[in-house]
Structure 1
Amino acid sequence: MARPQWTVPAHQVLRVGPDFRLGDLDHRATPGWGAGRTAAKERMAAAGDELSDLQERLFAHGRTGGSRSVLLVLQGMDTSGKGGIVRHVIGMVDPQGVQHRSFGVPTDEEKAHDFLWRIRRALPRPGMIGVFDRSQYEDVLVPRVHETVPAEIWEERYERIVDFEREVVASGTTIVKVVLAISPEEQRERLAARLDRPDKHWKYDPGDLDERLLRPRYAEAYQAVLDRTSTDLAPWHAVPADRKWYARLAVSELLLHGLEELRLEWPAANFDVEAEKARLAAQPW
């Protein structure tokens, strides 16, 4: 039986274009995928095998002098599924080849530097897959919504982020940017589940409800981010996230595409293979 396939590749159907409006997104839709949840699990398992192989090739290149890396940027409101993506998608590859970093409220040390300082320090090394749970975009979104700094400060950050990402790509890093879009109804259900289950209380923050009331302002802020920072070098992908299985499938495909585009072969041996075989065969044990 043929393996389930996307009707339109995820990197095409989910890419944010110039006319994209976040407010028009159907949060329960499954763009490009019509085969259902069970088939999605089958496809994701296959994608996991491919991800594992390509990640090992990337890691091998990093160990032998290569300069390439991949950075997955995850943005989204609270409960949108960023942590689940890390567990279920990134969990399919070898952890020694992953650099994962979450960005919350800046520390005192981070505040003493430029807003990109902490981001630069967390960029993936050659051969690595980097994962940002929130990112440099927090330094545009939060100040805009909460008015913590003058508008002229966060306004100039859009262009600075675009320049920064251009520099990162030029250095050999492929950037895969994902915004996980969740409906207010689904968010309410997920927050309620965290309150109902003692094993989920550690995930709950009373401040999440305060942030939830600011959803209209966050929607405007996210739209501005998509409008001003989705570029050919580092495009945004908007993933409907009410169906967790679809969001995880979609991100696995986006990451897989990013790795495939590197077109990496296994590094050539820097030693005489036949000579080493002969040496091994000649050893007494």
Structure 2
Amino acid sequence: MAKKHKRTDSGARRIEELIGPLRVPPGTEVDLAKDFDPRYKAHLKKRESAELLRTGVELLTEYQAKLAAQDTYGVLMCLQAMDAGGKDGTIRHVMSGMNPQGVQVHSFKVPSAEELDHDYLWRYAKRLPARGDIAVFNRSQYEEVLVVRVHPEVLGRQQLPPSARRRGIWERRYREINRWERYLTDNGFKVVKIFLNLSKEEQRARFLKRIDVPEKNWKFSAADVRERRYWDDYQRAFSEMLSATSTAWAPWYVVPADRKWFARICASAVLVHTLMEIDPRYPTVGRKARKELAVVRRQLEDEAPKGAPRDPYRAGRRSGGHGDHGSEA
């Protein structure tokens, strides 16, 4: 047991060393262009990435099972990025080993008429995870201070009363989102936020690949290219958002996204770190329940067919096998 504990401590330190430089300290004034390099890759090499990502996925699988069994905490991971930033691929790779019953991924597109008839956080609140689950927002509540800010006409469609459209709306929304996330964390729902930081040149290259490779044509949208005209506006909006909404209870991580392999490792590490902080445990049963289990064990052992071990699992363990006979795990 002590050896396992040491291994966990070592892994936790390595993860903290990896993601520490990516965390936005609360109160920091961020300038994306100066403070974060989209091509940063720490000390890692691409050939190491497959093993590291596999380790991350294995840890996520382990922690997810404990999170679900404990049924006390939930996790919300928010992903933001410019178009072609790699959100879909990050989700696919990071979540690859997890039980789909405990993970929900929600993408937020243009709001519907019903959604516009409610407050701007309503559609996000509807998709929050249950206790024991992990929810991933592919775009999130932060669209309300990003695309809505860059395109004022979108704000005009939100049917706000005149008083809500006054000067200072963005500062007010930052405060409201911060308070909402604090409310969630106070109630057992951990919020972790990842911004995939893509360079303008890498976005251009990815758009061209979507045109050049027929199998990727379906991913290309002329609207995405039109949005490139607002690149500087988005960079300013992202910088201010990161400055105003990275909090002690819901920090932002700026993940370099020009190298997809590194972005996936970092996203996995951020989520593992979040689960390590929760430290979910399998529930333990009381004395009365253990006595009931002992009675049921004897009944099942007595039903063993002639020549079969009374307890296949224990027999397999004693013989040096895995003891997986009859298991669906």
What's the TM-score once normalised by structure 2's chain length?
Answer: 0.80
* Identical aligned residues as a percent: 39
Measured against aligned partners, the alpha-carbon deviations of 1:54-94 in whole angstroms (never above 9, x if no partner) come to 101111122xxxx2011111000000000011100012211
Q: Partner residue of 1:182?
A: 198
Q: 1:55 aligns with which of 57, 64, 70?
A: 64
CA distance in 1, matches of 2:285, 2:223: 54
Q: Secondary structure at the match of 1:179?
A: strand
| 1:278 shift after superposition | 1.5
* Residue of structure 1 in register with 2:77 after alignment: 72
Do residues 91 (structure 1) and 102 (structure 2) align?
A: no
Identify which of 217, 223, 236 aligns with 2:252.
Answer: 236
- 2:140 counterpart of 1:142: no
How far is 1:118 from its partner?
Answer: 0.6
> CA, structure 1 residues 8+36, in 2 after alignment: closer, same or farther (shift >3 Å)?
farther
CA offset at residue 233 of structure 1? 0.5
Q: How does 1:30-49 map to 2 (within 5 A)?
A: 30=41, 33-49=42-58
C-alpha separation between the residues in 2 aligned to 1:101 and 1:181?
A: 21
Alignment of 1:200-239 (within 5 A): 200-239=216-255
Classify the secondary structure of the residue corresponding to 2:144: helix
Task: Evaluate the alpha carbon distance shift between residue 8 and residue 259 of structure 1 in structure 2; reply closer, same or farther with a 3 A threshold.
Answer: closer
Distance between the aligned counterparts of 1:40 and 1:28, measured in 2? Answer: 15
Shift of 1:19: 4.3
Contact 2:30 2:240 in 1 (8 A): no
**Contact 1:40–1:249, Cα closer than 8 Å, also in 2:** yes
1:105 alignment counterpart? 110
Contact 1:143–1:154 at 8 Å: present in 2 too? no
Structure 2: distance between partners of 1:248 and 1:165: 25
Please give the secondary structure, in 1, of the residue aligned with 2:282.
coil
1:122 Cα deviation from its structure 2 partner: 0.5
How far apart are the structure 1 equivalents of 2:87 and 2:38?
Answer: 15
Aligned to 2:31: 21
What residue identity is the alignment partner of 1:280?
A: L
- The root-mean-square deviation of aligned C-alpha atoms, in Å, is 2.0
TM-score normalized by the length of structure 1: 0.92
Offset from partner CA, 1:229-274 (integer Å, 9 cap, x none): 1100001000110000000000000000001111122112463332
- Summarize deviations over 1:98-136 as a string: whole Å, max 9, x none: 011011111111111001101111001000011000000
Q: Kindly tell me the number of residue pairs found equivalent between the two proteins.
A: 278
Secondary structure, counterpart of 1:213 in structure 2: helix
Q: CA deviation at 1:8?
A: 5.6
Match of 2:299 in 1: 279
- Shift of the alpha carbon at 1:276? 2.4
Stretch moving more, 72-81 or 16-25: 16-25
Inter-partner Cα distance in structure 1 for 2:168 and 2:212: 43
Within a 5 Å distance, the mapping from 1:105-184 to structure 2 comes to 105-148=110-153, 149=155, 150=165, 152-184=168-200
